């Protein structure tokens, strides 16, 4: 599995320093932005050198390094989002994620609520940590996914909305309008969304209030 460098990784480094990355690492756009903001430069190291350093560090500390657990991303789309779904699946795997594909499997006309519900249920049940749903505009899938208790689906159309939905709203499902954004924009949005952590703090109180609305609405 190829290493995946996120903005969270970069935040662990001091300002104006070098950040060593393996030669096969995938660096997210947000990680590059954060590195530039902090004056950090990426220094590529060879696989052998990385292995030697890791072994040396383990010997010094007496502990083996712990590899990050692989996160599962559920993804689904109707016929309007099918082709973009297939492209994003490749990116997700390249970035080190396990993909739970919940359909559809062709360009044949289907109904977007079915796939939004399937992805939402997978996330709510813990079968996937995060989810992505695509249709032509993304609006319908967002509405449908948000009907699943425990889901906070966000329709994102640029890097800023992707970042905000994760930092402020702790969104756990991303919806995209496949006919309204380019494949490259979708890749960038997805990369930012996946690599942005929830900020907590004052935002936690507001997310808790969202949950309380859901809980009150579910009571008879």
- Catalytic annotation, residues: 168
Pairing mode, if any, of strands 98-101 and 72-77? parallel
Contact 40, 18 (CB under 8 A): yes
Q: State the number of CA atoms in the 13 A half-sphere of 110 facing the CB.
A: 21
Alpha-carbon gap, residue 149 to 217, rounded angstroms: 10
Alpha-carbon gap, residue 129 to 137, rounded angstroms: 24
Token duo for residue 84: 């973009």
Q: Which of 82, 100, 83 is nearest to 92 (CA)?
A: 100
Alpha-carbon gap, residue 118 to 76, rounded angstroms: 8
Contacts of 75 (CB under 8 A, 6+ apart): 85, 88, 89, 92, 99, 100, 101, 102, 119, 131, 132, 133, 134
Task: Indicate the helix (H) or strand (E) that contains 42.
Answer: strand 41-45
Alpha-carbon gap, residue 87 to 77, rounded angstroms: 12
């Amino acid at each position: 599995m190829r290493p995946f460098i996120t903005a969270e990784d970069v935040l662990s480094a001091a300002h104006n320093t070098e950040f060593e990355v393996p030669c096969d690492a995938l660096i997210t756009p947000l990680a590059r932005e954060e590195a530039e903001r902090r004056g950090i430069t990426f220094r590529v190291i060879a696989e052998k050198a990385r292995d030697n350093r890791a072994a040396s560090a383990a010997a010094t500390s007496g502990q083996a390094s712990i590899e990050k657990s692989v996160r599962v991303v559920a993804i689904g789309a109707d016929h309007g989002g099918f082709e973009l779904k297939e492209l994003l699946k490749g990116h997700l795997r390249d970035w080190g994620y396990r993909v739970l594909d919940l359909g559809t499997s062709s360009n044949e006309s289907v109904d977007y609520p079915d796939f939004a519900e399937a992805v939402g249920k997978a996330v709510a049940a813990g079968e996937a940590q995060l989810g992505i749903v695509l249709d032509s505009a993304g609006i319908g899938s967002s509405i449908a996914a948000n009907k699943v208790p425990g889901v906070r689906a966000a329709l994102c159309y640029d890097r800023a909305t992707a970042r905000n939905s994760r930092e402020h709203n702790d969104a756990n499902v991303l919806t995209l309008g496949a006919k309204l954004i380019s494949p490259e924009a979708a890749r960038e949005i997805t990369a930012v969304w996946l690599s942005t952590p929830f900020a907590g703090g004052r935002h936690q109180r507001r997310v808790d209030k969202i949950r309380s609305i859901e809980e009150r609405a579910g009571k008879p």
